[in-house]
Amino acid sequence: MSMLFSPIKLGPLQLPNRIAIAPMCQYSADGNGMATDWHMIHLGHMALSGAGLLILEATAVTPEGRISPDDLGLWSDEHMAALAPTIQAIRRYSPIALGVQLAHAGRKASSEVPWKGGAQIPPDQPRGWQTVAPSPLPFAEGTNAPLELDGAGMQRILDGFVDAARRAHQLGLDAIELHAAHGYLLHEFLSPLSNHRTDEYGGSLENRMRYPLEVFKALRAAVPAEMAVGVRISASDWVEGGWDIGQSVVFARELEKLGCDFIHVSSGGLSPLQKIPVVPGYQIEFAERIKREAGMPTIGVGLITEAGQAERILEQGQADMVALARAMLFDPRWPWHAAAELGAQVSAPPQYWRSQPREYKDLFDTRQVQR
């Protein structure tokens, strides 16, 4: 039996296979964080892929926490109402488990969408706003310096995470992934490169972990135990003196104590000085170490494009699941093709059953039908 297509549990969440669709920013909300028809098309497309888990894109918990002015948000009930039709449509036609990545972009917020250059927009320009961060350090030379968060600001953002988590539960989602990676706010608290605070939230590793752990604890308590809650981390800044895999293991252990159900292991994004050796599976060794030393399920991600590659990662115990992003955009039926290659079965809507090539006549699990 293929490991890629064997079942797995992430805390309370039972999944039929070990393929996750990683969060992918679409920069296609309406300008005030509201879901649009694009989300119906894009997420509906991904939901028919046969993957076990689909995690919605980084979704801002406060207005200033958006990466771009066109990011998806969940900071009000209106945002929940705008997203609900997409979730309901997916539930009618797909058995896929659904999660959402809740995020705050910190000092990397107020940026233009990638196809317009992606540069940070100054706060005095249209579509721009003042960013916030643990310390008033800009991301890169020439970018806007963020305001240092005080206690009231940190509490407001923590409350934003909690409120968004409750809305995610009301929407009927199965999981929440707390975004503490890629140089965004919670990662900025973790890394000594971006956190120069002199209070109880800066300095030592214990202090730098304090706020992300407080946010996780509050979020975990805000939703029922039957909802899985995990964390996306960058296991290394890829910069000397920055956040690294050793600190990531300590952080993962602390998260495990608070009831974290999984760690989604990425890297980088905090500094333009990063030097990343980008090769297939370049982050998997981080997932392997966290899995071994922290003892909780890990999701490996990063240039995983081939079915055999994904299968080997699981067989060798380097991760418990694999996540794909760009590979899914390029081939939205990647799980179908992987199942065919590995001699496994995959869920597909009955409207598509006639598409099976004759040599793969048992590819689709015909016991699973639309709800």
CATH number at residue 338: 3.20.20.70
Give the tokens for residue 197: 């605070």
Closest C-alpha among 339, 281, 291 to residue 313: 281
- Note whether residue 365 is domain-resident: no
- Note whether residue 2 is domain-resident: no
Distance of CA 51 to the CA centre of its chain: 15
Q: Which residue has the tokens 């600001």?
A: 153
Which pLDDT score, from 0 to 100, does residue 280 have? Answer: 86
Which range of residues forms the domain containing residue 152? Answer: 8-360
Domain count, the chain: 1
Whether residue 184 lies in the annotated active site: yes
Which pLDDT score, from 0 to 100, does residue 322 have? Answer: 98
Distance of CA 296 to the CA centre of its chain: 17
- Note whether residue 366 is domain-resident: no
**Any alpha helices (H) in the chain, and if so which ranges?**
37-47, 77-93, 151-170, 185-190, 205-222, 245-257, 284-294, 307-315, 326-330, 334-342
- Note whether residue 117 is domain-resident: yes
Nearest 10 degrees: CA dihedral of 291, 292, 296, 297?
40
Catalytic residue among 27, 184, 201, 211: 184
Distance of CA 327 to the CA centre of its chain: 16
Closest C-alpha among 5, 32, 33, 29 to residue 19: 5
| Ramachandran sector of residue 102 (left: φ over 0; alpha: ψ -120 to 50; beta: rest) | beta
- Whole-model pTM: value is 0.96
- Note whether residue 227 is domain-resident: yes
Query: Which residues have C-beta within 8 Å of that of residue 290, sequence separation ≥ 6?
Result: 235, 245, 248, 249, 252, 263, 265, 296, 298
Alpha carbon of 225 to those of 97, 164, 256, 281, 359: distances in Å? 16, 16, 14, 32, 43
Which pLDDT score, from 0 to 100, does residue 368 have? Answer: 59
- Note whether residue 368 is domain-resident: no
Give the tokens for residue 212: 């992300």
Which pLDDT score, from 0 to 100, does residue 367 have? Answer: 76
Rounded Cα gap, residues 48 and 96, in angstroms: 8
Please list the rounded mean pLDDT of every run of 10 residues in the chain (371 residues). 96 98 97 96 97 98 98 98 98 97 98 96 96 97 95 98 98 98 98 98 98 98 98 97 98 98 97 91 94 96 94 97 96 97 94 92 77 44
* Structural Rg of the chain based on CA atoms: 20
Which pLDDT score, from 0 to 100, does residue 237 have? Answer: 97
- Note whether residue 3 is domain-resident: no
Q: Which amino acid is residue 270, in one-letter code?
A: L
In 53-113, the DSSP E strands lie at 53-60, 97-103
Does residue 232 sit in helix, strand or coil? strand
- Note whether residue 94 is domain-resident: yes
Q: Could you say which DSSP state residue 192 is in?
A: T
